[in-house]
C-alpha cells in the first residue's frame, strides 16, 4: 500500500526537492508577473461587469457614467501601486501589510491585516474560479446548473499544480496570462482602430431597452442615484485585489528582490489600468447592456426577452462586436479569458501559504503551516486554502454576484492599515535622519503613503456602507473569527512555552528522576516478549519487573511455570482483574508506583508487531491503543514500544527504508500482539 501511495504522490506532485535547491525556485520578473499578478489582471474580466450591472439598476442612461466610475477605480489602483512600491523597498523580507502593521502599529493591527488578507485570499479563489465556471457554462451548455461541482474540480486541479512548486506552477501559468494580456490588448487596439475608421459595429445587446428597477425611475438623480454610483465604484474596486500579493511574496523574487518586486508592481498596475479603461470605454461606445435580472430588465421593442435569454459577459459581447466577421478571434478571446479567470486564483495560492508560514513562525497559526513540503512549497497552506475556497463555492453555488458582495472588504482593511503603518515608519526614520537628500526621499515616500491611506480608507468606508447588508458583514465576521482564533493559538503556544521552561538550575535538576522503574508488559512468552525484556535490561533501570494481567487463571499458571522453567532474571508480577479488564489494572498499578515515589520515572515496555498489511492491524490487540492513550496522560510515565517485524512487513520495511532509513511505523498493539 505504501509503495502504491508513494508512486501516486510522486506522479501527481513530483520527486522531492533538496532544501539546498531553494534558490532555484526563485522567480524572475517575467515569471513573477503571472504568478503574483494574474488575480489583479484577470479582475478586468469581471470588474467592468460589476460596474455596468450595478449602474443598470437605474436604467439605460446610467451606463453613461461607467467610464468615469472606472477612472475612479484606476485612480485608486495607481495610488495603491505607488504606495506598495514603497512597502517592498522598506520591507523586503516579505509579510506585506502584516509585517508593516505589526512593526509600526502593534500586534493587534498586524493580526487585523493578516485576518483580512486570509479572508480575501480565500474569496479570491472562490470568485475567480466561480467566474471561470460561468464562462465555461456559457461555452459548454451541458455545464449549466453544474457550475459548483465544476468549480470545485478546478480548485482541486489548481491546488495540485501548486503542490508541485511555485516555479513549476508559475511557468505553467505564464503563457495563459500573457496570452490574455495580448488578446485584450489586440481587442482594444482593433476596437479603437475600427472606431477611427468608422466601421465599429454595435454590440448585440445595444438594441435592447433597459428598464430601471423600482425606486430608480429617474435614473441617477437624487441621493439614491449617488448611492448607486458609490455601489458601482465599490464593485469596480475588485480590480485592486491581488495587488498586495507582490509585497507579501518579495522573498520569492530573484535578487535584487525589492527592485524586481517594485518593477513587477508597476507593470501590473499599468497593464490592469489600460485593460480596464479600454474595456469600459469600448463597452460604452458599442452600447453594451449588462443587467442584474435580464428577464425583467431587458426588452426588445417593449417585449421582455424572457427567461431563455442568455446574457454573455461584457468581454464576450465586446469581442463579438469588435471581431465581427472573424469568429476565430472571438473564440480566442473567450477561451483565454476563461482560462485566466481559472488561473487567477494562483495568486492566492502563492500569497496565502507564504502569509500562513509567517504567521505560523510568529506563533499565530499551527506550526505545520511554516514548513515546506517535498517540492519546497508550503503544502499545508495550499491544502488549507483550497479546502476553504471549496466550502465557499459550494455554499454560494458558484454565483459570482453573491460572492462579490463579500469581496474586497478585507483587502481595503489591509491597504489602509498598511499605509498607516508606512506613514509611521517614515516618520520614525525622519526623526533619526539628518541628510537632506535622504530626508527628501523619505518625505516624498511618506506623502505617497499618506495619500494612499486617506484614499483607501475612504474606499473602505464606501465599501462597508454600500455592501454591508448585501453580504460584506459575512466577511467582517470571518475576519473577527480568524483574528480570535489566531490570538488564542498564540496564547496557547505562549502558555505551553512558559509551562515547559526549565527556569533556574535547581528546577532543571529537579526535572531529572531519582530512579527509573521499568515494567515489561507480558501476556505469554515468545520472541517479542524476550526482545522487550532484553531492551529493558540493557537500559539498566533501578527496578525491572515483568507484569501480566490475570484474566484467565489457567493461562496465568502456565505462564508462571514457563517463566520458572526458563529461570528468567526478572521478577514476574501478576495483577488481579476480577472483571477481565486489561487496561485498568495496569493504569492503577503504574499510578500506585507514582504515588509511592513521585520523583521516580516509570518506563512501560510494550512488545508489538510491525505488520505489512492494513487489515493485519485490525486483527491484533487494539486494547493497547487505549492503554497507550491513558498512559500518556499519567505524569512521570514513558511508553516504549519494542517492535518485532513479521514477514508480511518486508515490503513496508523496504518502502520505509527508501523514504526514511530504517524507521518503520508500527501498528498499535497491546501487551500480547497475538490477542485479537
C-alpha cell at 668: 498499535
Confidence tier at 1 by pLDDT (50, 70, 90): very low
pLDDT at position 661 over 80: no
Q: What is the pLDDT of residue 590?
A: 92
Residue pair 669/626 in contact by the 8 Å Cβ criterion: no
- Kindly state whether residues 436 and 537 are assigned to the same domain: no
3-class SS shares of the chain: helix, strand, coil, % to 5: 70, 5, 25
Residue 143 located in a structural domain: yes
- Kindly state whether residues 571 and 625 are assigned to the same domain: yes
User: What sign does the dihedral 126-129-131-136 (CA atoms) show?
Assistant: negative
Residue 199 located in a structural domain: yes
- Kindly state whether residues 480 and 539 are assigned to the same domain: no
What are the pLDDT digits (tens) for 37-48? 777 888 888 788
Residue 170 located in a structural domain: yes
Own/partner contacts of 76-80, CB < 8 Å, gap of 24 or more, are: 76/237, 76/240, 76/455, 76/456, 76/459, 77/239, 77/240, 77/243, 77/269, 77/272, 77/273, 78/269, 78/273, 79/448, 79/451, 79/452, 79/455, 79/456, 80/240, 80/243, 80/415, 80/452, 80/456
- Kindly state whether residues 483 and 560 are assigned to the same domain: no
pLDDT at position 283 over 60: yes
pLDDT at position 343 over 50: yes
Residue 499 located in a structural domain: no
- Kindly state whether residues 581 and 432 are assigned to the same domain: no
Domain containing residue 650: CATH number: 3.40.50
- Kindly state whether residues 314 and 405 are assigned to the same domain: yes
C-alpha closest to that of 610 among 546, 499, 527: 527
Which residues have CB under 8 Å from 322's CB, separation 6+?
187, 190, 191, 194, 200, 201, 282, 286
* Burial track 490-527 (b if 16+ CB lie within 10 A, e otherwise): beebeeeeeeeeeeeeeeeeeeebeebbbbbbbbebee
Dist CA 316 CA 340 (whole Å) = 14
pLDDT at position 35 over 90: no
pLDDT at position 361 over 70: yes
pLDDT at position 144 over 80: no
Confidence tier at 56 by pLDDT (50, 70, 90): confident
Residue pair 40/241 in contact by the 8 Å Cβ criterion: yes
Residue 667 located in a structural domain: no
Helix (H, G, I), strand (E, B), or coil: what is residue 89? helix
Residue 670 located in a structural domain: no
Q: What is the pLDDT of residue 502?
A: 64
Residue 524 located in a structural domain: yes
pLDDT at position 345 over 60: yes
Confidence tier at 2 by pLDDT (50, 70, 90): very low
Dist CA 64 CA 55 (whole Å) = 9
Q: What is the pLDDT of residue 511?
A: 58
Q: What is the pLDDT of residue 414?
A: 86
The boundaries of the domain holding residue 92 are 2-15+27-494
Percentage of the chain modeled with pLDDT above 70: 84
pLDDT at position 665 over 50: no
101 φ/ψ angles, rounded to the nearest 5 degrees: -65, -40
- Kindly state whether residues 522 and 449 are assigned to the same domain: no
- Kindly state whether residues 223 and 99 are assigned to the same domain: yes
C-alpha cell at 19: 532544501
C-alpha cell at 103: 512593526
Most confidently predicted of 193-197, 349-353, 514-518, 615-619: 193-197
Looking at every residue in the chain, the average pLDDT score rounds to: 81
- Kindly state whether residues 107 and 243 are assigned to the same domain: yes
Q: In what order do the strands lie in the sheet with 303-304?
A: 209-210, 298-300, 303-304
Task: Please compute the mean of the pLDDT values over residues 63-73 and round it to a whole number.
Answer: 88
State how many domains the chain has. 2
Alpha helices in 15-106 (DSSP H): 29-42, 47-55, 66-90, 96-105
Q: Which residue has the higher pLDDT, 220 or 22?
A: 220
In which region does residue 350 sit, left (phi positive, over 0), alpha (psi from -120 to 50) or beta (all else)?
alpha
Q: What is the pLDDT of residue 189?
A: 95
Percentage of the chain modeled with pLDDT above 90: 21
Confidence tier at 412 by pLDDT (50, 70, 90): confident
User: What sign does the dihedral 74-75-81-87 (CA atoms) show?
Assistant: negative
Q: Which residue has the higher pLDDT, 3 or 175?
A: 175
Q: What is the pLDDT of residue 47?
A: 85
Confidence tier at 618 by pLDDT (50, 70, 90): low
Q: What is the pLDDT of residue 243?
A: 80
Q: In Å, what is the CA distance from 389 to each residue of 109, 174, 326, 348, 371?
A: 25, 23, 38, 10, 22
Q: What is the pLDDT of residue 620?
A: 56
What are the pLDDT digits (tens) for 207-259? 888 887 776 766 666 677 777 888 888 888 877 877 877 877 787 788 888 88
User: What sign does the dihedral 474-477-483-486 (CA atoms) show?
Assistant: negative
Q: What is the pLDDT of residue 489?
A: 93
What pairing do the DSSP bridges indicate for beta strands 571-576 and 543-550?
parallel
Task: Please compute the mean of the pLDDT values over residues 375-394 and round it to a whole number.
Answer: 85
What are the pLDDT digits (tens) for 534-592? 999 998 889 999 999 988 888 889 999 999 998 898 999 999 888 778 888 999 999 99
**Residue 57 class from Cβ within 10 Å (0-12 exposed, 13-18 middle, 19+ buried)?**
buried
Residue 649 located in a structural domain: yes
349 φ/ψ angles, rounded to the nearest 5 degrees: -70, -15
Dist CA 12 CA 162 (whole Å) = 11
- Kindly state whether residues 407 and 441 are assigned to the same domain: yes
**Residue 459 class from Cβ within 10 Å (0-12 exposed, 13-18 middle, 19+ buried)?**
buried
Task: Please compute the mean of the pLDDT values over residues 437-460 and round it to a whole number.
Answer: 88
- Kindly state whether residues 518 and 375 are assigned to the same domain: no
Residue pair 207/288 in contact by the 8 Å Cβ criterion: no
Per-residue 3-state assignment (H helix, E strand, C coil) for 549-569: EECCHHHHHHHHHHHHHHCCC
pLDDT at position 676 over 50: no
Confidence tier at 194 by pLDDT (50, 70, 90): very high
pLDDT at position 648 over 80: no
Confidence tier at 668 by pLDDT (50, 70, 90): very low
Task: Please compute the mean of the pLDDT values over residues 65-70 and round it to a whole number.
Answer: 90
- Kindly state whether residues 479 and 618 are assigned to the same domain: no
pLDDT at position 333 over 60: yes
Domain containing residue 323: CATH number: 1.20.1740.10
Amino acid at each position: 500500500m505504501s509503495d502504491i501511495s508513494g508512486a501516486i504522490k510522486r506522479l501527481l506532485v513530483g520527486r522531492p526537492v533538496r532544501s539546498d535547491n531553494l534558490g532555484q525556485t526563485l522567480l524572475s520578473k517575467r515569471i513573477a508577473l503571472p504568478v503574483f499578478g494574474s488575480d489583479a489582471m484577470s479582475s478586468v474580466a469581471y470588474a467592468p461587469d460589476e460596474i455596468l450591472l450595478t449602474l443598470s439598476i437605474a436604467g439605460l442612461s446610467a451606463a453613461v457614467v461607467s467610464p468615469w466610475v472606472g477612472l475612479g477605480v484606476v485612480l485608486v489602483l495607481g495610488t495603491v501601486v505607488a504606495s506598495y512600491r514603497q512597502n517592498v523597498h522598506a520591507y523586503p523580507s516579505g509579510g506585506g501589510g502584516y509585517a508593516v502593521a505589526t512593526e509600526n502599529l502593534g500586534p493587534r493591527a498586524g493580526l487585523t491585516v493578516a485576518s483580512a488578507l486570509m479572508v480575501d485570499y480565500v474569496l479570491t479563489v472562490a470568485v475567480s474560479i466561480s467566474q471561470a465556471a460561468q464562462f465555461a457554462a456559457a461555452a459548454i451548455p451541458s455545464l449549466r446548473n453544474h457550475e459548483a461541482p465544476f468549480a470545485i474540480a478546478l480548485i482541486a486541479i489548481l491546488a495540485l499544480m501548486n503542490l508541485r512548486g511555485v516555479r513549476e506552477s508559475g511557468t505553467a501559468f505564464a503563457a495563459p496570462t500573457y496570452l490574455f494580456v495580448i488578446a485584450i490588448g489586440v481587442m482594444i487596439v482593433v476596437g479603437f482602430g475600427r472606431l477611427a475608421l468608422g466601421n465599429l459595429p454595435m454590440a448585440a445587446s445595444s438594441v435592447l431597452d433597459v428598464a430601471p428597477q423600482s425606486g430608480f425611475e429617474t435614473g441617477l438623480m437624487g441621493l439614491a442615484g449617488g448611492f448607486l454610483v458609490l455601489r458601482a465604484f465599490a464593485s469596480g474596486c475588485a480590480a485592486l485585489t491581488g495587488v498586495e500579493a507582490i509585497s507579501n511574496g518579495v522573498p520569492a523574487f530573484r535578487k535584487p528582490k525589492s527592485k524586481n518586486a517594485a518593477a513587477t508592481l508597476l507593470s501590473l498596475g499599468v497593464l490592469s489600468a489600460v485593460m480596464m479603461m479600454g474595456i469600459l470605454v469600448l463597452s460604452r461606445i458599442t452600447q453594451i447592456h449588462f443587467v442584474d435580472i435580464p428577464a425583467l430588465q431587458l426588452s426588445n421593442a417593449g417585449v421582455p426577452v424572457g427567461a431563455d435569454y442568455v446574457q454573455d459577459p461584457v468581454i464576450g459581447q465586446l469581442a463579438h462586436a469588435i471581431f465581427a466577421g472573424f469568429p476565430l478571434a472571438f473564440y480566442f478571446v473567450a477561451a483565454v479569458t476563461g482560462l485566466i479567470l481559472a488561473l487567477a486564483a494562483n495568486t492566492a495560492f502563492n500569497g496565502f501559504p507564504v502569509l500562513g508560514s509567517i504567521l505560523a513562525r510568529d506563533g499565530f497559526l499551527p506550526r505545520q503551516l511554516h514548513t515546506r513540503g517535498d517540492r519546497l512549497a508550503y503544502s499545508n497552506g495550499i491544502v488549507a486554502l483550497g479546502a476553504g475556497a471549496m466550502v465557499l463555492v459550494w455554499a454560494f453555488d458558484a454565483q459570482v454576484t453573491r460572492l462579490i458582495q463579500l469581496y474586497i472588504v478585507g483587502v481595503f482593511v489591509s491597504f489602509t492599515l498598511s499605509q498607516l503603518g508606512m506613514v509611521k515608519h517614515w516618520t520614525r526614520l525622519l526623526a533619526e535622519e539628518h541628510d537632506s537628500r535622504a530626508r527628501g526621499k523619505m518625505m516624498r515616500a511618506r506623502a505617497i503613503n499618506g495619500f494612499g491611506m486617506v484614499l483607501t480608507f475612504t474606499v473602505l468606508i464606501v465599501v462597508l456602507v454600500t455592501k454591508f447588508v448585501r453580504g460584506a458583514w459575512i466577511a467582517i465576521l470571518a475576519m473577527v473569527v480568524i483574528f480570535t482564533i489566531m490570538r488564542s493559538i498564540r496564547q496557547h503556544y505562549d502558555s505551553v512555552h512558559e509551562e515547559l521552561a526549565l527556569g533556574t538550575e535547581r528546577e532543571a535538576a529537579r526535572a531529572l528522576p531519582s530512579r527509573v522503574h521499568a515494567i515489561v508488559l507480558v501476556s505469554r512468552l515468545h520472541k517479542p516478549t524476550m526482545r522487550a525484556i532484553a531492551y529493558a535490561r540493557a537500559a539498566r533501570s533501578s527496578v525491572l519487573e515483568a507484569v501480566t494481567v490475570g484474566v484467565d487463571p489457567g493461562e496465568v499458571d502456565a505462564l508462571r511455570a514457563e517463566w520458572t522453567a526458563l529461570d528468567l532474571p526478572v521478577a514476574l508480577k501478576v495483577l488481579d482483574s476480577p472483571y477481565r479488564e486489561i487496561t485498568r489494572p495496569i493504569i492503577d498499578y503504574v499510578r500506585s508506583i507514582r504515588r509511592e515515589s513521585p520523583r521516580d520515572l516509570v518506563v512501560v515496555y510494550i512488545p508489538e508487531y510491525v505488520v505489512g498489511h492494513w487489515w493485519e492491524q485490525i486483527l491484533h490487540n487494539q486494547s493497547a491503543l487505549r492503554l497507550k492513550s491513558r498512559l500518556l496522560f499519567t505524569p512521570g510515565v514513558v511508553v516504549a514500544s519494542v517492535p518485532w517485524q513479521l514477514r508480511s512487513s518486508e515490503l513496508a520495511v523496504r518502502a520505509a527504508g527508501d523514504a526514511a532509513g530504517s524507521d518503520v511505523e508500527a501498528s498499535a498493539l497491546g501487551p500480547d500482539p497475538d490477542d485479537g
